[in-house]
Amino acid sequence: MALVLTGLAVLAPASAMAPAGAPYRWTNITVGGGGFAPGIVFSTAAPGLAYLRTDMGGAYRWEDKTGTWVPLMDGIAEGSYFGVESIAPDPVARDRVYAAVGMSFRGAAAMLRSDDRGTHWRTVPVPFRMGGNEAGRGLGERLAVDPRDTRQLLFGSRHDGLWRSDDAGLHWRRDKAFPYAGAGAPPPRETHAGIGFVLFDRGRSRVFAGIADAGSAGLLRSDDDGKNWSRVIGGPKGLLPVKAAIDRAGRLYVTYADGVGPSGVTRGAIWALEPSGEFHDITPDPRPDAPPGGYIGIAADPKRGGIAYASTFNRWKPGDTLWRTTDGGRHWADLGPLSRRDTRATPFLNWGRPEAALGHWIAGLALDPFDPGRLAYTTGDTVYVTNDAAKPALLWTPWTKGVEQTAIITLTSPTAGAPLISGFGDLGGFVHRDFGRSPPGMFLSPRNTNTNTLDYAGRAGLVLVRSGNVHDGQEIEAGLGWSDDGGASWHPLRTPLWNDGHGLEAQGKAPITVSADGQRFFVAAERPLLTRDRGKKWVEIVGLPRNVRIVADKVDARLAWAIDPDTRRIFASVDGGEHFAPMATRGLCADLSLARPRGRESQPALVASPFAPGDLFLLCGTELYRSRDGGPTFQRLAPDLDIALFGLGLGSSPANPAVYAVARRAEETGIWRSPDGGAHWGRIDDAEHRWGGRFRVISGDPRRRGRVYIGTDGRGILYGDPAG
């Protein structure tokens, strides 16, 4: 059947404009933390200085005088380096810090050295691989600087044994004297934990290392600065040493678990190696029927003997907790019941409850060596700090100002209401009204762990729809939701295909879109469906193949389109999405199957402009096309750019929206802008703002000219405005 689109304006090309490239000012949108930070380390050389490492968002520096965490790797272009395996401030040189970086065994790996607290880095590629975002990333620290000779560094690798630098990190060689050479390359989809920690005993010639690979696990000791090693006899059977700390008396505390986490840990213990050589069990809760879970975080007071803190790990019921000892582990106090959390700075941590839980995945635990009252710990979604470490009752506050460590799946800037709506991994998503403050709460009804798709009604911008999913093992209320007040409140939405939470809709694989007037919702499920009454009744869309995503026009509620990558055709509707038919097109890419979504989190390949009816932009592979007549004819844009992501915003006129793109040219990925519908392009990022090229979504703002939003994979949401 032939389909004719009528009533669409054919727009003339825009006249030449000033260069599209211009200096931009980049700012994080505040949420506060949000992701897993496996380790935190205080400097022992400079008061008030600490470093935080994350599993996919790089490293941060805290200084008391600024009162904020400073991201340290935004200017790095290599995405693998944003998985920080270990971090080590120099124990003598106040401004020197090292970082071992590499996302996984298959990614690039390097040692980074900075002499200005991470403001600038010297990169030393290394031949061994890291696992900054692999299982076991909460172990450590693997990287250690000898306080007696700071030119000497040791690094415990995952796969290739112990490595040594004799020149402050500029060159590395394998330490063949170390008795464990490593387990070699891991099997596909698995990893080795390898040497989980290396620890120098400050003021002494002792060094300790923990091997956390099953079959070779054990605690090793050197009494001559790492020249010779021997195994420490004893320790719990069937458990892996994962972290260690030394107090002022020279007592070594070692945490153990039956896995390296962050998931799957069911048993654990804590042992102490006394200065006398006695190695004995000091587990806080040694009962055979203790709650399932292990121990990982450990911090000891370097200026007072007998004082240490520890954290449980992966103890889901009754939840993780912290322990404190003041007598070397003979007695422990459970700090969980003694703790309160003030989360007003990041209220999403409450997850809709009156008070936030203490946290999960408590891997990083650190005591300030200059202030024994300041204790900090990291969780799967934030960092907490207290100044009450030694007090009977402890008040914790989020320690996240400046930290944005989240994966952004999707976002949209609607034509009304808040300027930005986001879809996060793990945290659901947010309505962002004030970019400088954490939103009052996340999407909770329905509660989706991940929000995979978002859409708004072009002429009724307060009407929003979303799709999402939850992690395995969690209950799911619904996979779809809608709002008619700009996201202030949400309503669950179920189709007849709900199937007790096991269908595509519940898995977040059925995108939802909304018509321009906000009256119709379209769901791309096993049978494409639409509802005209907010889900009370559903009708099957006629003429569409299964599982194809519907794109509604943002101006004309009668118009909608869908791409079928299997038959390489575009389908169109002129009756509000009730009937679709294939449409003849010309000027488009030769292989429309390249527009196939890679997964449930893929951004739409076809986007309708919010400024003019029938104004379509289509990404086919890395080629961007535009149709001004609703689809019959397309024209290639930016032929010199290989485009990965794109989005639209307010441009030079309604006929020429701004186009923003993440694109590659001359072997370098950057952020590009066209202010005039794709006629002219200029690059708007710079050497200080690369973010590892870890981008997932980009969009302009339909109400603010020049504004662009970027959703990253690890550095949260950034927005850019022209600097002039």
- DSSP symbols for 198-233: EEE-TTSS-EEEEE-STTT-EEEEESSTTSS-EEPP
Which one, of 382, 383, 403, 384, lies nearest residue 394 by Cα?
384
Edge to edge, what strands does the sheet with 642-653 contain? 642-653, 656-665, 668-674, 682-683
H/E stretch holding 170 reads none
Query: Chain-centre distance of CA 570, in angstroms?
Result: 34
Q: Is 342 a catalytic residue?
A: no
CB atoms within 10 A of CB 566: 13
Distance between start and end Cα atoms, the chain:
53
Say how many residues make up the chain. Answer: 724
Q: What is the structure's pLDDT at 6? A: 39
Which one, of 32, 26, 30, lies nearest residue 707 by Cα?
26
Q: What is the structure's pLDDT at 10? A: 35
CB atoms within 10 A of CB 108: 17
Q: Is 642 a catalytic residue?
A: no
Superfamily covering domain 32-184+191-398:
YVTN repeat-like/Quinoprotein amine dehydrogenase (2.130.10.10)
The token pair at 20 is 């599209």
Is the distance from CB of 646 to CB of 660 less than 8 angstroms?
A: yes
Residue 574 is given by DSSP the state S
Looking at domain 406-722, its CATH architecture is 7 Propeller (2.130)
Residue that has been written with the tokens 């002039």 in this structure = 724
Bridge partners of 265?
none
Spatial separation of the C-alpha atoms in residues 478 and 470, rounded to whole Å: 10
Beta strands in 515-568 (DSSP E): 521-523, 529-531, 539-540, 550-552, 560-564
Helix (H/G/I), strand (E/B), else coil: 682: strand
Q: Which amino acid is at 87?
A: I
Spatial separation of the C-alpha atoms in residues 82 and 55, rounded to whole Å: 7
φ, ψ at 594 (rounded to 5°): -70, -15
596 exposure class (CB count in 10 Å sphere: 0-12, 13-18, 19+): middle
Catalytic residue (choose from 115, 334, 371, 426): 426
CB atoms within 10 A of CB 489: 10
Q: What is the structure's pLDDT at 1? A: 36
Is the distance from CB of 638 to CB of 665 less than 8 angstroms?
A: no
Spatial separation of the C-alpha atoms in residues 467 and 577, rounded to whole Å: 19
Spatial separation of the C-alpha atoms in residues 524 and 505, rounded to whole Å: 9
Spatial separation of the C-alpha atoms in residues 113 and 115, rounded to whole Å: 7
pLDDT along the chain (724 residues), means of 10: 39 38 92 95 97 98 96 97 98 98 97 98 97 97 97 97 98 96 88 96 93 96 94 96 97 97 95 97 95 96 96 93 98 97 95 91 97 97 96 97 96 98 95 97 88 97 95 79 96 85 79 97 93 96 94 98 96 98 95 93 96 98 98 97 98 96 93 96 96 97 98 98 90
Bridge partners of 586?
633
* HEC-encoded secondary structure of 248-288: CCCCEEEEEECCCCCCCCCCEEEEEECCCCCEEECCCCCCC
Spatial separation of the C-alpha atoms in residues 717 and 701, rounded to whole Å: 14
Q: How far is CA 69 from CA 48, 86, 341, in A?
A: 12, 18, 20
Spatial separation of the C-alpha atoms in residues 631 and 625, rounded to whole Å: 10
DSSP codes, 19-64: -S---EEEEEPP--B-S---EEEE-SSSTTEEEEE-SSS-EEEEET
Spatial separation of the C-alpha atoms in residues 26 and 33, rounded to whole Å: 18
Domain regions of the chain by residue span: 32-184+191-398, 406-722
Judged by phi (left if over 0) then psi (alpha if -120 to 50, else beta), residue 359 lies in left
Residue 80 is given by DSSP the state G
CA angle 290, 294, 300 (to 5 degrees): 110
Scored b (16 or more CB within 10 A) or e, 634-667 reads: beebbeebbbbbbbbbbbbeebbbbbbbbbbeee
CA angle 693, 695, 697 (to 5 degrees): 155
Q: Are strands 122-125 and 143-145 parallel, antiparallel or unpaired?
A: unpaired
Is the distance from CB of 558 to CB of 511 less than 8 angstroms?
A: no
The token pair at 467 is 């799709």
φ, ψ at 79 (rounded to 5°): -65, -30
CB atoms within 10 A of CB 615: 27
The alpha-carbon radius of gyration of the chain (Å, integer) is 27
Q: What is the structure's pLDDT at 692? A: 96
Is the distance from CB of 431 to CB of 418 less than 8 angstroms?
A: yes
Beta strands in 43-194 (DSSP E): 49-53, 59-63, 68-71, 84-89, 97-101, 110-114, 122-125, 143-145, 153-156, 162-165, 173-174
Spatial separation of the C-alpha atoms in residues 151 and 241, rounded to whole Å: 27
Residue that has been written with the tokens 């009156």 in this structure = 354
Spatial separation of the C-alpha atoms in residues 311 and 318, rounded to whole Å: 14
Q: Which amino acid is at 335?
A: L
